[in-house]
Amino acid sequence: MKYINKNPEILIIDDSPEHINFVAAIIKKRNYGVRAVTKAKLTFEALKAGIPDLILLDVIMPEIDGFELCSMLKSNPLYKAIPIIFLTAVNDSENIVKGFEAGAQDYVSKPVNCRELMARIETHLSLKKRTDKLIEAYNDIDSFNHMISHDLKVPISSIDRLTGFLRESVSNGNKEETNELLDLISEKTCETVTLIEKYAELAKLTGTAVNTSKINMNNLACEVMEEIKKAYPQQEIVFERSELPVVHGDKMLLEQVLVNIFSNSVKYSTVRSASIIKMDCQKCGDEYLFSVQDNGVGFDMNYAENIFKSFVRLHSRIEFEGTGIGLSIVKKVINRHGGKVWITAQVDKGATVCFTLPVEIQVGNLPG
pLDDT of residue 54: 95
The pair phi, psi for residue 279, each rounded to 5°, is -115, 130
How confident is the model over 242-287, as pLDDT tens digits? 999 999 998 888 998 998 899 889 988 988 999 999 999 999 988 9
| CA dist., res. 220 & res. 215, Å (int) | 8
Q: For 32-46, 127-141, 173-187, 329-343, which range has the lowest pLDDT when averaged over its residues?
A: 127-141
Most confident of 28-42, 198-212, 350-364: 28-42
The answer, yes or no, to whether residue 151 has pLDDT greater than 60, is: no
- Cα 353 to chain centroid distance, Å, stands at 11
pLDDT of residue 279: 97
Of residues 364 and 270, more confidence is placed in 270
pLDDT band, very low/low/confident/very high, at 322 (cuts 50, 70, 90): very low
Q: In what order do the strands lie in the sheet with 287-293?
A: 236-241, 274-284, 287-293, 351-358, 341-345
Quote the pTM value: 0.54
Residues in the chain: 368
pLDDT of residue 277: 95
Q: For 26-35, 53-62, 299-308, which range has the lowest pLDDT when averaged over its residues?
A: 299-308
